[in-house]
Amino acid sequence: MWKYLVKKEFKQFLRDPGMPGMVLMFPFLIILVFPFATNMEIRNVRLVMVDNDHSDRSHLLMEKCASSGWFEVLDVNAAPESAQALMDRGRTDAILTIDNGFSQYLEDTRGGGGSVPVGIKVNTVNGTRGSIAGQYLNTCVTGFISDNMVSSSAAAMPGFDVSGSYRFNPYLDYKLYMIPGLIVIAITMMCGFLPALNIVSEKEKGTIEQINVTPVKKTAFIACKMVPYVAVAYFMVFTCLLLAYLVFGYSCRGSYFAIIVYTLAHILVMASFGLLVSNFSENTQQAMFVIWFFSMIFMLMSGVFTPIESMPQWAKTITYANPLRYFADAMRAIFLKGCGIRETWPDLACLLGIGSLTMTWAVLSYKKTA
Amino acid sequence: MRQILSFIQKEFRHIFRDVRTTMIVLVMPVVQIILFGYAVSTEVYNVVVDVVGDMTDPEVRRIVERIDANEYLRIGEVLPSVSEIEGRFRRGSPKAVLCFGDRFDSQAGSGKGASLRIVADGADPNTAQTVTAYLMGVLASEQMEMATALTGSSGPSFSPNIQLMYNPAMSSSYNFVPGVMGLILMLICSMMTAVSIVREKEFGTLELVLVSPVKPFWIVLSKLAPYLVLSLVNYVSVLLLAHYVMGVPVNGSLTLLTLASLVFVGSSLGLGLLVSVISKTQQTALMICGMGLTMPTMMLSGIIFPCESMPAVLQAISCIIPAKWYVIMVKKIMIQGVGFASVAKEFAVLTGMMAFLLYVSIKKFKTRL
Amino acid sequence: MEEKTVMIRNLVKKFGSFTAVDNISFEVSRGEIFGFLGANGAGKTTAMRILCGLSKPTSGEGTVAGFSINSEQEQIKRHIGYMSQKFSLYPDLKVWENFELFGGIYGLNDKEIRIKTDSMLKALSLEDARNMYVRDMPLGWKQKLAFSIAMVHDPEIVFLDEPTGGVDPVTRRNFWETIYDAASKGVTVFVTTHYMDEAEYCDRVSIMVDGRIEALGSPAELKEAYGAADMDGVFTRIAGRGAAGQ
């Protein structure tokens, strides 16, 4: 009996006009397109410079900034008003103003007398972009001044040397970090909610009625529905991992067994959640809206795109109920840090905890509504 | 004219009679803007930092206390040796470990240069970089104080004055809330509309409408009317929340903002309409909007990841997403407070998109007759 | 004594305060074609769903194919066939695949399924449609096919819920021949309909009004009792009386 039901689900899945194509396309999008978009690195900061000093020194400073490689210099000799206008229109991220008396400041033998006659203005509408522009400029200016200070005392300062290094991802490659996260998102979208929608549409078509009058148990019917989606999830995970290896040379550092276990656990959680939603929906449209609503919340509050640490406490508390949080955390730990189930077991425990809760509720409400 | 009015009336009845769906459509953006407005942020707070070093060493103690007092950093555990670092990172709690050399205090005091190493968990590059920068900052000020204590005079400061324009408090809601507004409005508007025509196709009631003497243009328009009303209600609720709850200022003209939103909503409705006209079933339509639009909008419209950092190809693709232009406009109008001249380009692009989408969907709708 | 495949005593089904089925009792014999008539909302579908084991009665008892409708629903499902008013075969599966699926569900093995598919398609003279997608078939074919699939596991009793909705009289006639054929082989046929001419084809009919059985008997008996020329007249009179009594 199981054989025939599973066969039916596979055939229907493969005959769907969109699904097989999407399943084939998704891994390519996930590995070859999206990682390039998920770049937090700030490059090509647009800079306008205003020189009121008109000295050799001020020219040297501007040259130093221009050659630092951080900036795309739009204008080196702008009038203050036009620089401001450029910023208002969002054309430039930063303005460096060198005030009159800059060269004199450097000549000043006392050193550090008064404030630095250099002004930096950054556009912080885009949060990070502005503050990073500020940091870059600050580094340039401070470096220039301390190098050119006539009185610059070269005496060794007491203190300590600080060196930094990065584990697991020494070159801070954002793509490496995002790939496991994006795999998580793809599986959630493709395999998490679709089984539930599939059941809703069988309800609407009336075919589920025909199955209900047969001796097939409802739970068995749902279990058989899950099989192709689980297969698809594994297909996608391993295609993604293979592509990541072939294209970028990234290989999974941890246990493949752990990936298999987590993927299965995640699909079960999401599918039972989807079923729960569909039990409480009147039609496909409602089910789809509500499912979309939750999947957005799951995705944006999972730590895949922005760190959970940066959320306010109440939002952090909400993420404890988000299955994606645990799946994403575990996948990253496995892929990047070489972990297995032993190190990530709290994630698995939470995932299974949420899963058993939603599963029980879904099955109970399903029996009631049917 | 009377016919058209009665058509519009029918459409309104149709939509608002389904109370549950209407409620879902109106409540969704409210919940999402509150959640994402606060939660979507790349600022790093409360990061756990572990320490490897001799805690009886006075200088080590001073630095550790200093770090713990920093609002962004929190000391986690003191590890007995560097070999523990790997294991701690794998279990995931600290984002960085500070490793002090032996006899840190005496080395540092002597001016021989004691050594201090920051090992960050580079798995998440953004957090790793930020934490390292925070730690460097704390250490630099400690070093400055040590120098002051030794020489008796404060060292020179060469730092120029940095002026933060438009967002002096560096509130990250300024950055993300407009993005979230664009994301939510665009997706909800298009998803709502996506079912409009395809549903009648499925139920077979579309034929009934088509045999009436009303022109297809008016049929489509009357279908859009109730969705437009719902979208505007959503716009108002999202804007009120952004301003009064998330604290995003409205520095520019509210009329201009509303006008821009109207055009944006129009192009989103047009997108949904096009999907509705080309798909055969409600499920396909919802799938295209729910999955096909969500991912690219989230990833490519500069809401989380800046468009400027993308490769040129992706930047070009991002230009066809209406949300990208809307978010740019919202930031300019709400935060920078600029006038129409500064947003004219984005406004024109969105208007063009709206006209194009509506034109194509009406044309496609006609050819189906 | 005649063998009874369906025995129902004092069956009641309530949804909250609404009584959909109000204390009905009847029996159906083996090989009988039993018609269940009534206006939309009279409770026929609700009653039938209880007999099929799809929902539980609020009170009352009965047996279908020898199994209790209260406690042995899963057993009932093994011994009945069902075809609903909504055409509910899988449109995206081919004809033979639908046979395979439902045969498999009822525990037939591959060989049995093959034999069954061949003989049934032959009986319907649809051998050439074997590889057709169900969605591409004309409605009349689909209905015959759905009936055959409801019979794939040789059930003792087959329930047909408005099986001929939306097809032309010729196709309907054709379909009824298939039903007669099954009944002659000893299968009990339980059919709901609102086509009164179809009622004439039944051995016995019951007419439901507002959840109660208002009349039960062979078409001839009923026509005589109500002094009507055809079943349409009988129905109008009973339904009219029911409405007047409210």
Domain boundary, last residue among B136, B165, B194? B165
State which of B165, B187, B206 marks the end of a domain: B165
**CA–CA distance, A269 with A325 (Å, rounded to integer):** 12
Length reported for chain B: 369
Element spanning A243, H or E: helix A218-248
Contacts of B195 in chain A (CB under 8 A): 285
Instruction: Flag whether residue A19 sits within 8 Å of chain C, measured between CB atoms.
Output: no
What phi and psi values does residue B51 have, to the nearest 5 degrees? Answer: -130, 135
Paired strand residues for C94: C133
Does residue B27 lie in a domain region? no
CATH class of A45-156: alpha beta
Start-end of H helices in chain B: 2-17, 19-39, 58-69, 85-91, 104-110, 125-151, 172-203, 205-210, 216-240, 254-278, 282-287, 294-300, 312-318, 322-330, 340-367
Q: How far is B242 from chain A (nearest CA, A)?
A: 15
Query: In this complex, do A285 and B195 lie within 8 Å of one another by their Cβ atoms?
Result: yes
Query: Model confidence at B306, in pLDDT bands (50, 70, 90)?
Result: confident
Under 8 Å between Cβ of A355 and A274 = no
| B67 plus B205 within the same structural domain | no
Which of B138, B267, B128, B244 is closest to B193 using CA atoms?
Answer: B267
Q: Are residues B229 and B93 in the same domain?
A: no
Q: What tens digit of pLDDT does each residue of C117-174 get?
A: 999 999 888 888 899 998 888 888 888 889 999 999 999 999 998 888 777 888 888 8
Confirm whether B21 is domain-assigned.
no
pLDDT of residue A156: 44
Domain ranges (residues) in chain A: 2-38+174-365, 45-156
- Residue type for position B278: I
Taking CB atoms and an 8 Å cutoff, what residues of chain A touch B143? 157, 159-160
Give the residue from B165, B195, B226 where a domain finishes: B165
* Candidates A5, A16, A214, partner chain C, best to mutate (most C CBs within 10 A): A214
Q: Which residues of A touch B89 (CB under 8 A)?
A: 167-168, 337
Sign of CA dihedral B174, B178, B179, B181: positive
Question: Do residues A144 and A187 touch, judged by C-beta distance below 8 A?
Answer: no
Chains in contact with C, counting 3 or more C-beta pairs less than 8 Å apart as contact: A
Residues B98-122 pLDDT 10s: 888 877 777 666 656 678 888 988 8
Structural domains in chain C, CATH included, are 4-87+158-245 (3.40.50.300)
- Distance CA(A131)–CA(B133), nearest Å, equals 13
Question: Which tens digit of pLDDT belongs to each residue from C5-59?
Answer: 999 999 999 988 898 999 999 999 999 999 998 887 788 888 988 998 888 899 9
Residues B137 and B216 in one domain: no
Same domain, B152 and B283: no
Q: What share of chain A is helix, strand, coil (3-state, %, to 5)?
A: 65, 10, 25
**pLDDT bucket at C87, cuts 50 / 70 / 90:** low
- Is B152 at the interface with chain A, CB within 8 A? no
Task: Check CB contact under 8 Å for A210 and C104.
Answer: no
Provide the chain A residues 112-171 that lie in CB contact (below 8 A) with chain B.
112, 115-116, 118-131, 134-135, 137-138, 141-142, 145-146, 149, 156-170
Q: What is the CATH number of the domain that holds B152?
A: 3.40.1710.10
Mapped onto helix, strand or coil, the DSSP state of residue B209 is: helix
Average pLDDT over residues B268-277: 92
| Pair (B212, B132) in one structural domain | no
Other residues' Cβ atoms within 10 Å of the Cβ of residue A103: 18
B95 with B235, same domain?
no
What are chain A's partners, defined as 3 or more CB pairs within 8 angstroms? B, C
Instruction: Give the model's pLDDT for residue C117.
Output: 93
- Locus of tokens 């001249």: B341
Question: How far apart, in whole angstroms, are the C-alpha atoms of residue A4 and residue C104?
Answer: 6
* Partner A contacted by C97 (CB < 8 A): yes
Would residue B17 count as lying in a domain? no
B362 in a structural domain: yes
Number of independent structural domains in chain B: 2
| Structural domain span for residue B236 | 172-368
Domain match, B108 and B235 both: no
Q: What burial letters (b/e) apply to A149-177, b meaning 16+ CB within 10 Å?
A: beeeeeeebbbbebebebbbbeebbbbbb
B264/B155 same-domain check: no
Query: How many other β-carbons are positioned within 10 Å of the β-carbon of residue A47?
Result: 26
Give C139→chain A minimum CA distance, Å: 15
Same domain, B73 and B204: no
The answer to whether the CB atoms of A158 and B117 lie below 8 A apart is: no
Chain A interface includes B83 (CB < 8 A) = no
- Same-domain status, B220 and B335: yes
Tell me whether residue B215 is in a domain: yes
Mean pLDDT of chain B: 84
**B41 neighbors A306 (Cβ within 8 angstroms):** yes
Across the interface, whether the CB atoms of A122 and B120 are under 8 A apart is answered no
Interface test with B, best of A40, A87, A281 (most B CBs within 10 A): A40
pTM: 0.84
Same domain, B320 and B193: yes
pLDDT of residue A352: 95
Residues B207 and B313 in one domain: yes
The confidence score (pLDDT) of residue C244 equals 46
Q: Please report whether residue B306 resides in a domain.
A: yes
pLDDT in tens, chain A (370 residues): 788 899 999 998 888 877 888 888 889 988 998 888 887 766 678 889 998 888 888 888 888 888 877 788 888 878 888 888 888 777 888 888 888 888 887 776 555 556 778 888 888 777 667 777 787 788 788 778 777 765 544 444 556 677 778 888 887 788 889 999 999 999 998 887 788 888 888 887 788 888 888 888 888 888 888 899 999 999 999 999 999 999 998 888 889 999 999 999 999 999 889 888 888 887 778 888 898 899 999 999 998 988 888 888 899 999 999 999 999 999 999 998 888 898 899 999 999 999 999 989 988 887 765 5
